[in-house]
Structure 1
Amino acid sequence: MLEQLNRALDHIESHLDHEIDAAELARIAMTSEYHLRRVFSALAGMPLSEYIRRRRLTLAAAEVLADERTLLEVAVRHGYSSGEAFARAFRAMHGVGPGEARRTGAVLSSQPRMSFRLVIEGSSSMRYRIVHKNAFHVVGKKARVPLVHEGVNPAIAAFVQGIDRETTDRIKTLSDQDPDGIVAVTDDLDPGRAEGTELDYWHGVVTSTRIPNDNREDRNDRNNSDDHHDTHDLDTLAVPPGTWAVFENTGPYPQALQYLWRDIFTEWFPANPYRSRPGPEILRVRPFEDENGTQAHAALWIPVEPTTS
């Protein structure tokens, strides 16, 4: 897959002064646009759109300093509809506006051209299994939180701490399939995975239980049920049938888990006939304490689909 990704990077480089279509890049990379954005973000450490923006502004900076075109001409050449929009983007990357950079010859930033290569170390292996699941529900409590790449996510920590023990116990009783028990589920993420973008976070269980909708028929069903009070205040996510790749590791929490997610997209996907697909990611964590501090055994479920030839 890395060869195809590098072809997509070549296409970007030759079209920096044109509109770049992510769907066309996915076709060149022989994958889906969703998977392309996910893998690129993991490999490059930034979203695909950010890389394209930074490459354009790198070339634009050279043209600004060359003083052969007006600033507006440079802006339009690199896809900006106005001088003001170009100046804002230029300042965000380089720390100075284009006019000041031209007058003073300021030192500017640069985004080097990227290429990907596979480094084979052979020092570790990844434990995984492929699971095909029928339709199910995620039931629990949901919050919209920002994405954090490293360390504890304070928004998630505060959200989970705010769920009382009685509610957690009620949620736990609904678990009836693998992965069992309380899980963390993330959904509706930006494919580029930029830090600070928002996602839906679920503290809940995987279950066949259907939570009633708030309509007359379902309210009557709840009123006639002995356990109607157990679920009416919970959130639910319906998940269609699909395939998941399940990865497991043990190590310091949450660092080991964050490294696992990185390794899945930088090592496992390029070496296996699967690609990521839209859908919720499911994490089951079992923490424990040892002489090294807080450790955890984690099982991470990533929605996948076979690649097509």
Structure 2
Amino acid sequence: MEWIERLNRAIGYIEEHISEKIDYDQIAKVACCSTYHFQRMFAYMANVSLSEYIRRRRMSLAAADLQCGDEKVVDVALKYGYSSPTAFNRAFQSVHGIAPSLVKEKGVSLRAYPPISFKIIIKGADEMNYRIEKKEAFRIIGIAQPLHHEIEKNFEIVPQMWQKAAMDGTIPKLASMMEGEPMGVLGVSVCNDLEEWKYFIAVASAKGIENQGLQEYMISPFTWAVFPGEGQCPQAIQELEQRIITEWLPTSGYEYDNGPDIEVYLNQEPKNSRFEVWIPVRKKN
């Protein structure tokens, strides 16, 4: 229950600062987890990204202000962090379907998005196989690109990386250099709060990378919760990750540690993929 309470405290923080510039790092601190993992958990549990949720809340409040008060559109725009009237109009119309100048017209329909409240719903109908594995530090080598701190902005970067790596021969090249656990081609989200966020397509290996256009990264020792899965990717792996966060994590006795998320691809058949999801965990206090 404590985990859910932390999420609800984070929602309370958002509400208290809804008309200010909201610091994602501070929200995550309220929830006692990393900025990356908070956004992941929020998106899977709320079925909407954190940035979209904040935008909807602001536009709900902006509509109420415009409908019930005498404030000008430009003043309401500034109140909710929009220095550009054009950007405010665009955001308002994307939520309500009309321009903010029309809210007082007769018969206008608006959308209200109240604050989210999280709670645990016990499902338990479908089993989840997993194992807990303690692993010492290990080195990965591969290709990498920086990631945005608003994670939904990465939904184009990562698939494009995989597509390019499959077409230019990078994946077979990496597979030939694989040695050590976890055995498979890895998708690694390095998104802790202490360094630049990056996404790696990589393998575990101690081999040299001179003049091969690759990067290396040392993954620190962690305890991992490892979940096997299979099916058509990326849908199957996304569904498994959602179940991990919404069903397993809240009642597991574990919480996220500040390490990378790892997807281990055990074969190279996207339509019939076998994979594992590794998440860094620690025992709750």
TM-score class, shorter-chain normalisation, is 0.7 to 0.9
Rounded Cα–Cα distance in structure 1 between residues aligned with 2:56 and 2:176: 49
Q: 2:60 maps to what in 1?
A: 58
Q: 1:35 maps to what in 2?
A: 37
* 1:49 Cα deviation after fit: 2.7
* 1:28 Cα deviation after fit: 3.6
Rounded Cα–Cα distance in structure 2 between residues aligned with 1:42 and 1:161: 28
Q: 1:200 maps to what in 2?
A: 199
1:250-281 Cα offsets, whole Å, 9 max, x none, are 34444322211111121222223221534252
Equivalent positions of 1:147-186 (< 5 A) are 147-148=154-155, 155=160, 158-164=163-169, 169-181=172-184, 183-186=185-188
* 1:156 Cα deviation after fit: 5.1
Q: 2:150 maps to what in 1?
A: none
Rounded Cα–Cα distance in structure 2 between residues aligned with 1:81 and 1:206: 47
Rounded Cα–Cα distance in structure 2 between residues aligned with 1:288 and 1:88: 41
Rounded Cα–Cα distance in structure 1 between residues aligned with 2:112 and 2:129: 39
Q: 2:282 maps to what in 1?
A: 306
Contact preservation (8 Å) 1:184, 1:283: yes
Q: 2:207 maps to what in 1?
A: 209
1:5-39 Cα offsets, whole Å, 9 max, x none, are 12322333344344544444334434344332221
Determine what percentage of the aligned residue pairs are the same residue.
Answer: 31
Aligned residues: 272
1:233 partner amino acid = Q
Q: 1:271 maps to what in 2?
A: 251
Which deviates more from structure 2 when the two are superposed, residues 15-24 or residues 124-133? 15-24
* 1:51 Cα deviation after fit: 1.1
Q: 1:261 maps to what in 2?
A: 241
Matched, 1:237 2:213: no
Q: 2:49 maps to what in 1?
A: 47
* 1:62 Cα deviation after fit: 1.6
Give secondary structure in 2 for the equivalent of 1:127: coil
Task: Give the alignment's Cα RMSD to 1 decimal.
Answer: 3.4
What TM-score, normalized to structure 1? 0.73
Structure 2 gap segments, 5+ residues each: 148-152
Which deviates more from structure 2 when the two are superposed, residues 89-98 or residues 104-113? 104-113
Which is higher, the Rg of structure 1 or of structure 2?
A: 1
* 1:161 Cα deviation after fit: 3.5
